[in-house]
Amino acid sequence: MSISYSIDSVLDLSYTEENIKYVLSSGMEQGFVYLEDESRKVLSISHVIQKILFDSENIVNHITTKFKDTIFFIWFFKTENNLLIFSIGSFGYRWDKEFNNGVRQYTIDFARYIYLILQVCRNITLLELCTVGDEIENIIYDESACITAMLDIADFDSQKLEYISDGKLSVRSFLVNIIQNGFIVEDNLLEQNIEIYVHEYYEKLKKNSPLYLYVKKDNIPFKIEIKPDIQGYDLVSIYPLARYFMKKGYGSEKEKINIAFYIQRLLELCENFAIYELKTYF
Amino acid sequence: MQFFSLFSDEFKCISAPVSKVSTTGSSKIPLNRFSVGYSFQELPAYNSYMCKAQYSAIVCHGSDHLKHYFSTVIIPVMYNITIKNHANIFPCYTYSGGLCDLINRLSQFDGSDRAIIENLKVRLQSYCGRIEDVVFDSHGLFITNLSHARRVELVKTYADFLKEFYAENAPSFFYNQSRDNQLMQQVMPGINWNWYDGRDYVPHKRVAEQRYAGSVNGNLGQVYYAMEQGDSSTAYAMGQEKVQTFFSGRMWGKTEEIASVFEKYPELKRIVEEKYLTDQKACSQRKQVALQQEAKIIKSECENNIDQVIACDILQARCKAAQKDLTNFRSSKYIHKVFLENSKYIDTAFLSNDKKGIIFEGSALQHCLVDEAISVVDMVVCSHLHTKIQDAVVDLANGSLLSNKGGNAITASRMLDACWVVIDFGKKIISCTYTSVGIYAPLIVGGIAEGLGESLHDVAHAVCHPIETVQDLANSLVVVGYYLGKAVFAAAEYESVIDLSLTHPHLAKEMIQGLIDEPSMLPILYEQVKKLSAKDVARGGTKFAADIMLLHGINKLIPLITKDALPAFVNSIRKGMQSTKVVVAVEGIPANCAQEISSLMSSLEKVSGRVDNMVNINNISELLQSFNILKYDSSIGNVKKLEEAIKILKSIPGSLTKDGALFKALEYGQRIDVLMDSKKILEISGRLATARGAMYEVEKAIELIEAGEKIIHMGRKIGGREFDIVTSTKLIECKNIDWSTRVGRSAEKMKSDLGDWKRIAKDNNKIFELHSKNFIPQEWKDVFIKMGINFVEDNVL
């Protein structure tokens, strides 16, 4: 069973032709090229709209989209309360990457695709975002208001020596991500005493204890939580803290929490770790 | 803040577009100034629909992108339609929807352009309508011979277009273009450059339908286009194609008709037919000359007995046939019998309807080559060669038939040469399997065999592995590469000669002559490789062969070679030559190859990583011995099932890699002793689903093998998407899911995936098949049927 990945984002826009056009135009500004499925001819936005909204003969409602060296489908769905869901997925010639941090993996580079969605929706308020693996759904399981990514930082349970060094290396990489991406940690001593922290955090994770860090970026505070889960993966979450970073995007009636901002922070934290899943819970 | 109309503002214009845009600051509208050495009379605006040509919305408000689109696409097309070639207006001439396509593309422009686009579209559609009024008659038929008056009208329409969109620059623009056009020169003095017809034209639906029917649903455009491209065969075929056209009645009902372009346009039929017959005659003559030249080459080669590898009786048969062609060239048509059980390996395009043989028309040499291709297929099918080798040979034999049918006897014979050496190579592999010792040998042999069809880098790595026992094999591989390269090169050379014969027939003749007297590039390379030490042959020679075979699916490529792709194709062959240089560089000669060596070495290192990813057969049995059944879910943990699977699948590429189905099942299928906790049950359900899915792939592969299917690969990426099982005819996706849960978004995405898989299969001349372990609900079956997807349901309710 081939795993077909996709990323769904719920936008603070109603499901209308105009709003779909807006998203498509925004994609085009980023360099999206919309193609006909069979002939691979370039489609104009009006053709795309015609195809997905008005062509009753059409069994599939996707738009084949080429962006740089990757090809994917775009879908537009609606939520029960008529909000627009912008989805990309079924990546052909997909962006894969050999991830150096954590357990080494050559797999899909979700972060790059998520950044792409954030770029396309830069003027729109994002309400939800989640990655979907066609065959591996519902692995992340959380109920709090947070954004969670599932990684494989290291095998902390193993008693073998090589895993110990791998585990410490991964914790170190994680802390380096925090420092290099300009996060301000509470006591601000992380950089000077990094080896002490590596040891301390490694020991915590080894005991299956969750790890909490209170940080700020651009003066916006949030909490980072890292906790191993039952399947041997590690869940890295960001919990926005007051004062929240708010946004009122195109078509929005009022300001909402800028989820895109927090997602970007999570991606920075997880830089060079393979993200297996990412989901927002708000 | 100032408001003004988009297209005209300082004049009264009843039908001028009404949209307004706002801008800040003052907008100075330039006055008309012409620098063209022309004198003309300024006439007053005599009609209310005339608009003053002194302001261009594009120039004033268009973004740079829009301006660029206008100047590089719209204007040239308008010029073509009105002045140069009126056929440009047809759908399917250059654009599927004709000029309307270009107008619709304006919707792509956004931002600052958004305000002017809608009106721009209306205005361009108006021009389109005006032109159509001139080039179509009242019955919606295209006027093939436009009268002088109509042509003048078109020139004036073009002038109006320039006036509207280029304002004061229109005269100079028009003047420059008129230098090559007498009619434009004649019409220019009578044009009033200050005013243009600003009426919006919306064609009546019935008129539009009538004109579309008049263009025979776009076929007329295709006929004209093919003629312009010099492709009279396509023009002739398209002209005869009948299509159903319709247009609405004046009051009610509709007029339906089944007609062809030729039926509607008898004069066009005469012209196309004449050109087609002339071209056919010339082509046939050219083919005959080429075949005779090729017969000469083949005869010469056979007589000199250059190719020792090829069996003598085969060479003699070719030689005799070539001799016959040279003395008495005659084309004949008869059937070559094929064993019924082997007919499935031959492309149906060549087979007779009852599949008992190949009906072929050609010279003696061509018939001889057909017989040889059939012999090749017979031999390879009966042999015990690796499936990859069998596939490669069968594909090459089919490629040879295709080249032969196209009148290219040299390529056909080169490909058959390649077939024989590949068979020979395959036999050596079998012998090596039995004689070689050491745990790596089977791996290497497998790699090489696989490499023939697909994974060439693995081949390079495997053979570069410094193991003495494979050197002979490597040598054989060089020979294979040589012949494959020769086949490819012959095809490319043949195409070049054909191209050349159209423009420089004498040169082409010399080139063909050259093939007899001088060895081509690849044999020289082969000689170079032969001079090197055995180790280097294994290293560089194999890389050379592998590079040549980077054009894997060679046979599939050859029929697809187009003129445009030729340079890239020939360059690929030259890669082989570069690799040989690298080998020379290892001996310490040219320093400028250092970069090449380093890149070669780094690519080999990468390859070694991939090969390491393959699990050693010995390790699997160890793994199984340590396999703790209690740790696994019952759907996965069946040792007997796993042992059987490994035994059957071990020779299939992709099945026993760490990312392969079997290992995925083992990795994800471990049951965790925490099932009392309901939350955790939910958490691990995803992993078990993956494991069961992977195990289903394994079961399905075994089932297919037992049913006699030839599995080429498991878990292979084709066209950017992964397929679970690849057989010689099918791309298979296995699903072990509960279909009833596939609703909403998930269902839509699944449908998209299915459509894409089917498209890729079609592009690769294979059939896409979906296998489901579980019962498929009727609504999903309906979807599959509607999408034309074959499905197999293992469990039926």
Dihedral angle, C-alpha B596, B602, B607, B609, nearest 10 °? 180
The answer to whether the CB atoms of A231 and B684 lie below 8 A apart is yes
Which residues of B fall within a CB distance of 8 Å from A229? 683
Would you state the structure tokens that stand for residue B428, as one six-digit string?
């050596």
Question: Can you tell me whether residue A210 is helix, strand or coil?
Answer: coil
The answer to whether the CB atoms of B752 and A75 lie below 8 A apart is yes
How high is the pLDDT of residue B450?
A: 34
Q: Is A227 on the interface with B (CB under 8 A)?
A: no
The answer to whether the CB atoms of A137 and B686 lie below 8 A apart is yes
Would you state the structure tokens that stand for residue A208, as one six-digit string?
């299956």
Tell me if B301 sits within 8 A of B417, measured CB to CB. Answer: no
The answer to whether the CB atoms of A60 and B674 lie below 8 A apart is no
Contacts A–B by Cβ distance under 8 A? 116
User: Chain-centre distance of CA A232, in angstroms?
Assistant: 20
Q: Helix (H) and strand (E) counts for chain A?
A: 6, 16
State how far the alpha carbon of A20 is from the alpha carbons of A76, A272, B555, in Å: 8, 33, 45
User: The tokens 């050559």 sit on which residue?
Assistant: A106
List, in sequence order, every residue forming a beta bridge with B771; answer none if it has no partner: B734, B792
User: Chain-centre distance of CA B561, in angstroms?
Assistant: 10
The answer to whether the CB atoms of A60 and B752 lie below 8 A apart is yes
Would you state the structure tokens that stand for residue B317, as one six-digit string?
């048969």
Interface probe for A, chosen from B667, B713, B756 (most Cβ of A below 10 Å), is B756
Counting residues of chain A whose pLDDT is more than 70, the rounded percentage is: 89
Q: Would you list the domain boundaries of chain A?
A: 5-133, 146-281
Interface probe for B, chosen from A2, A17, A143, A227 (most Cβ of B below 10 Å), is A2
What residues have CB less than 8 Å from A22, skipping those under 6 apart?
Answer: A13, A124, A250, A251
How high is the pLDDT of residue B304?
A: 58
Interface probe for A, chosen from B92, B95, B107 (most Cβ of A below 10 Å), is B107
User: The tokens 């080999």 sit on which residue?
Assistant: B604
Q: Which of B686, B750, B756 sits opposite A138 (nearest CB)?
A: B686
Its sign, for the CA torsion B646, B753, B553, A97, is: negative
Tell me if B52 sits within 8 A of B8, measured CB to CB. Answer: yes
Query: Is residue A62 very low, low, confident or very high in pLDDT (cuts 50, 70, 90)?
Result: very high
Taking CA–CA distances from B103, the nearest residue in chain A reads A44
Concatenating the DSSP letter of every residue in B285-330 gives: HHHHHHHHHHHHHHHHHHHHT--TTS-HHHHHHHHHHHHHHHHS--
Would you state the structure tokens that stand for residue B355, as one six-digit string?
């599949």
Taking CA–CA distances from B680, the nearest residue in chain A reads A230
Instruction: Indicate the burial class of B234 (C-beta count within 10 angstroms; 0-12, 13-18, 19 or more).
Output: middle
What residues have CB less than 8 Å from A190, skipping those under 6 apart?
Answer: A175, A178, A179, A197
Q: CA of A137 to nearest chain B CA: how many angstroms apart? A: 6
Tell me if A151 sits within 8 A of A273, measured CB to CB. Answer: yes
How high is the pLDDT of residue A82?
A: 94
Tens-place pLDDT, residues A250-264: 988 889 999 999 999
**B:668-687 residues touching chain A, CB 8 A cutoff:** 672, 674, 679-680, 682-687
Which residues of B fall within a CB distance of 8 Å from A77? 744-745, 748
How high is the pLDDT of residue A197?
A: 86
pTM assigned to the model: 0.47
Average pLDDT in chain A: 85
Can you point out the beta strands (E) in chain A?
A: 5-14, 33-35, 63-67, 70-78, 83-92, 96-99, 105-108, 126-133, 146-151, 184-185, 211-217, 220-228, 234-240, 246-247, 256-257, 277-281
How far apart (Å, rounded) are the C-alpha atoms in residues B220 and B231?
A: 14
**B:153-182 residues touching chain A, CB 8 A cutoff:** none
The answer to whether the CB atoms of A135 and B674 lie below 8 A apart is no
Q: Which of A71, A77, A230 sits opposite B680 (nearest CB)?
A: A230
Would you state the structure tokens that stand for residue B51, as one six-digit string?
């608009």
How high is the pLDDT of residue B27?
A: 36
Taking CA–CA distances from A75, the nearest residue in chain B reads B749
Tell me if A117 sits within 8 A of A86, measured CB to CB. Answer: yes
Q: Is the backbone peptide bond immediately before A243 cis, with ω within 30 degrees of 0?
A: yes
List, in sequence order, every residue forming a beta bridge with A217; answer none if it has no partner: A220
**B:714-753 residues touching chain A, CB 8 A cutoff:** 719-724, 733-737, 744-746, 748-753
The answer to whether the CB atoms of B682 and A4 lie below 8 A apart is no
* A104 or B173, greater pLDDT: B173
Instruction: Indicate the burial class of B512 (C-beta count within 10 angstroms; 0-12, 13-18, 19 or more).
Output: buried
CATH class of A5-133: alpha beta
The answer to whether the CB atoms of B748 and A62 lie below 8 A apart is yes
How high is the pLDDT of residue B538?
A: 30
Tell me if B447 sits within 8 A of B458, measured CB to CB. Answer: yes
User: The tokens 């050495």 sit on which residue?
Assistant: B37
Concatenating the DSSP letter of every residue in B89-151 gives: GSTTSSSTTTHHHHHHGGGG--GGGHHHHHHHHHHHHHHHHHHHHHHB-TTS-B-SS--HHHH
Specify the DSSP element, H or E, that contains B646: helix B639-649
User: Chain-centre distance of CA B468, in angstroms?
Assistant: 42
Q: CA of A273 to nearest chain B CA: how many angstroms apart? A: 19
Q: Which of B107, B694, B722 sits opposite A46 (nearest CB)?
A: B107
* A15 or B71, greater pLDDT: A15
- ipTM of the shown complex: 0.91
Its sign, for the CA torsion B415, B418, B422, B424, is: positive
Specify the DSSP element, H or E, that contains B622: helix B617-625
The answer to whether the CB atoms of A230 and B756 lie below 8 A apart is no
The HSE-up count of residue B653 (CA atoms within 13 Å, CB side) is 26
Would you state the structure tokens that stand for residue B47, as one six-digit string?
């009609």
Pairing of strands A83-92, A70-78: antiparallel
Q: CA of B751 to nearest chain A CA: how many angstroms apart? A: 6
Pick from B303, B207, B223: nearest CA to B269:
B223
Task: State the helix-helix crossing angle for A259-269 and A161-180, rounded to 10 degrees.
Answer: 140
Tell me if A138 sits within 8 A of B686, measured CB to CB. Answer: yes
Residues of chain B falling short of pLDDT 50: 1-46, 305-311, 429-495, 497-499, 501, 511-619, 626-629, 672-683
**B:35-54 residues touching chain A, CB 8 A cutoff:** none
Which residues of A fall within a CB distance of 8 Å from B753? 4, 90, 134
How high is the pLDDT of residue A240?
A: 92
Q: Which of B687, B753, B783 sits opposite A231 (nearest CB)?
A: B687
